[in-house]
Structure 1
């Protein structure tokens, strides 16, 4: 039998995956993706600039899968600099080597390729991927991730007529290298130049629908710093899923989507046949940036008209109340055939409370950001590799406190230790005047409470211990707190970060080392045989002894 080039690649990668027999189970399907990463000319806001394309596309192609699928993603880096992709919200069960951030994964060198071997184990929902190095996120390279339920698992709504990806985010006309240079020089970013919908500026994106049918819109805020409000002229949105959790099906006229967050809504095309505005606009900013796309009824001969529908602007209470209204659908199945609420998180004893506070200051005359006074600086070797190969001097567990210290900001490669199977409470404290957005790789957590002012133990009295939403990204309002519960059931080295990308780049992040002394493939997979090695890990063997 003769194999084509594509078939030969798929066969070769399959053999590679099967060689690491503990990584995947043979009965789960494989999906193969070949992605070519290049620079290309784009002009989303009418100014020609260099963007990052995947297979010639900006944004990149959707990553489509079904629960438990094995995803074999061969990424060719044809940029002139190292490159990494990360998977926002995809949990990488027992496999932080594939997380795609510099603390866990060596960059793909220019002109080389790397094959990510992922499994969307026990996950459903809406997520996205993005480039995690060198402020590449400001140049593109992002795309949607759809994880559908297996056919035999009931979904709490009828199959929609279409499943549409909607990537919204703020955007700069300035080249990403210039933005990076500004940050490297110790300065803050300016205000963005505009908002994009699916890589398009005002009035350029287009969604074609059929009258009378219902569509699923998967909305992700892939921007750099701004909360956006999303709405569709003349239409209601029924929220059905948030970052892998089916929700109580609440109807909204508009929805706040904070940086890094993803939502699924159902929209029924129940209006007269014409075109309508799809709108995204900034929240909590003095200057309101707005962009529009077009919702086109296929039988319409009337162009979009009338004023662009307005949305909330500075109202924090409005957003807080909306956030509290988002709850888990306890009667719906998740990725497995059992109710999502069968895991009673509210009845589990907390083994540890961690409090995290952000801060902004200057260190050595340059702008920096910190968590519990520590502004993160990358090491010369990915932390996960240093941990796996027992390379000393790369990081120190406990280099960040589990509580705010009140000390002056300082630089360090901050790693917090945590025990496997602990059940922790994490309180994000925001003493600043901006909305924060936090993400934890490798995990979903329950957002049990949020409110203004200072958190105290008495704040637990208002926690939702019944049907809080489970997700991987949460907001913290100005001079407020947000509390989460999280089961530490995923061994590895996991990035905890702000989703405000300039702040992340300048230190508002750290790594959570979830550790067990028992070395078992039931808890954590060994290093992939095709893992790239860099820094002090060069020359090490990826073949287990």
Structure 2
């Protein structure tokens, strides 16, 4: 199957391996996509997993390393893997979003993901990027500094990876299909998880005992670097540890000025590295993970619970408890976001674009369209600038690279086609359009995107992820963005650097980045439900001058549609 023009041209491609520095290593991993039994999570069903584990294996490498991951698909589902936050400089073929940079790996097939970790160190994540399979296909990426390069903070005594997830007893593919058929929102999840361990789940008393759940063991007086990942599908999450403060030193694999807090806030796809010192009386302390939602949208409100245990205490010791933030604790999320700043040191400067070549306003939100076959005669949709994005049947990057016609158009609107009061009373007849539209950028051009939340159904926080780039969050506010006034308060010195950030409910966020990575790069809400409904688009970044500013040729085993 697939476009015959693409197949014939692919045969002529010469393999070009990703260049790595002379001091780097090659890290090789094998990911087997298999079905896994999940009785530990109070369910007899099998789920799709990597190497039989949920979460899957942590990928370890150093800055500058060349990473090779061979993915073998042993299940009936099509699969892709996205290396969330990895810059993929010139190697968009390995980015992973289905029908954007590659066709899926079909059952019985394999694909070698090949990329170099250039200029990045910290914690990221990997996950499936097709349908809702990332509910169980996910794991952490740990990028250590180059050998001999220290952390820009006191060296910890140990490191711990903590991956937060979201769990459905039902098959998530069935959940999506039912929602698509009815036009209604999909069922919410049954539990949140900490490294695969759930909190107390109704009807499953046996899985939450004194010995069950996630346990983080520490020694008195020692300091630990916690590498925290939010791999949840649809929920923004708080994390608290009873009696202990956390000092944030990195977000999304970019160092920050040290920031001490008792509550970590992460949207889906975000990561946070934080230092924890075991400076309390030896005992057992609750780790609580709870959701954030400051509007009327239903959300899984089950708190996942684990324990921080000091060495030497008994497992049945009574725990020190902590209060979780209210589910609508907007002030907590705002305080956390405002406390984050780029380190901006001589070794790790914040290269914020000071001028802008493209000034874009993207109105994002959720609405309804007519649907005669749906339950209520309507279906829920999501859009950016009134466009609900439709994935093509041939990957966008293949179409761009081989100049295939008719796959996409490059007329994605730079501004909402019909401006209105975005956070006030919306127009009654604002129906979205469907299309596979991209926005085209020249190599090395600078871009400012103001992401404006809307209230078409209900205002809601949106964690937005950009592939292929880090960006700087230069501004944020409530209400409608004021182009004449708000830019005067932008932070162009040390704004936090991220690959995923939350647009506040009924508000806006401004980001800036430099388009120095040729290829096709997805921008979408990282709430999977909104991505499914169409809250997504893509940038096409043209090649620059010469081979070092151009996309590498596609690998010979690139999957075909």
Structure 1 length-normalised TM: 0.89
Contact 1:169 1:228 in 2 (8 A): no
**Residues of 1 paired with 2:557 and 2:316: CA distance?**
52
Give yes or no for the alignment of 1:323 onto 2:337.
yes
CA-based RMSD: 2.0
Q: 1:205 to 1:404 in 2, by over 3 A?
A: same
**Residues of 2 paired with 1:166 and 1:91: CA distance?**
23
How many angstroms does 1:382 deviate by? 0.1
How many angstroms does 1:531 deviate by? 3.8
How many angstroms does 1:367 deviate by? 2.2
Q: Which of the residues 474, 481, 486 maps onto 1:455? A: 481
Q: How many residues align?
A: 508
Q: Which of the residues 10, 16, 19 maps onto 1:20? A: 16
SS at the partner of 1:134?
Answer: coil
Instruction: Provide the residue aligned with 2:558 in structure 1.
Output: 532
Instruction: Provide the residue aligned with 1:354 in structure 2.
Output: 360
How many angstroms does 1:342 deviate by? 5.8
**Residues of 1 paired with 2:550 and 2:357: CA distance?**
22
Contact 1:67 1:122 in 2 (8 A): yes
Instruction: Provide the residue aligned with 2:74 in structure 1.
Output: 78
Contact 1:219 1:263 in 2 (8 A): yes
Instruction: Provide the residue aligned with 2:410 in structure 1.
Output: 397
How many angstroms does 1:23 deviate by? 4.0
Q: Deviations over 1:280-331 (max 9, x none)?
A: 0011267732111121212223645356311222121331122011111223
SS at the partner of 1:456?
Answer: coil
The aligned runs of 1:366-515 (5 Å cut-off) are 366-398=379-411, 400-406=412-418, 408-432=431-455, 433-457=459-483, 458-515=485-542
Structure 2 alignment gaps of length 5 or more:
1-13, 200-211, 372-378, 419-429
Structure 2 length-normalised TM: 0.87
**Residues of 2 paired with 1:129 and 1:276: CA distance?**
29
How many angstroms does 1:154 deviate by? 3.1
Q: Deviations over 1:222-268 (max 9, x none)?
A: 11111111011111101011112111111111111112211000101
Q: 1:244 to 1:501 in 2, by over 3 A?
A: same
Contact 2:169 2:190 in 1 (8 A): yes
**Residues of 2 paired with 1:529 and 1:84: CA distance?**
15
**Residues of 2 paired with 1:22 and 1:56: CA distance?**
29
Contact 1:353 1:426 in 2 (8 A): yes
Instruction: Provide the residue aligned with 1:170 in structure 2.
Output: 166
**Residues of 2 paired with 1:304 and 1:114: CA distance?**
48
SS at the partner of 1:230?
Answer: strand
**Residues of 2 paired with 1:201 and 1:342: CA distance?**
38
Structure 1 alignment gaps of length 5 or more:
1-17, 332-337, 536-545
Instruction: Provide the residue aligned with 1:40 in structure 2.
Output: 36
Instruction: Provide the residue aligned with 1:335 in structure 2.
Output: none
How many angstroms does 1:276 deviate by? 1.3
After TM superposition, the structure 1 stretch with the greater mean CA deviation from structure 2, 427-436 or 296-305, is 296-305
SS at the partner of 1:118?
Answer: strand
**Residues of 2 paired with 1:308 and 1:251: CA distance?**
20
**Residues of 2 paired with 1:132 and 1:259: CA distance?**
13
**Residues of 2 paired with 1:361 and 1:436: CA distance?**
14
After TM superposition, the structure 1 stretch with the greater mean CA deviation from structure 2, 407-416 or 444-453, is 407-416
SS at the partner of 1:247?
Answer: strand
Q: Deviations over 1:496-516 (max 9, x none)?
A: 000000111221111110113
Q: Which of the residues 115, 120, 130 maps onto 1:118? A: 115
How many angstroms does 1:25 deviate by? 4.5
Q: Deviations over 1:413-470 (max 9, x none)?
A: 1211112111111101011321111000000000011111111121012211211111
Instruction: Provide the residue aligned with 2:244 in structure 1.
Output: 235
Q: 1:342 to 1:319 in 2, by over 3 A?
A: closer
**Residues of 2 paired with 1:216 and 1:147: CA distance?**
13
How many angstroms does 1:192 deviate by? 2.3
SS at the partner of 1:482?
Answer: strand
The aligned runs of 1:113-192 (5 Å cut-off) are 113-138=110-135, 140-185=136-181, 186-192=183-189
Q: Which of the residues 271, 283, 286 maps onto 2:280? A: 271
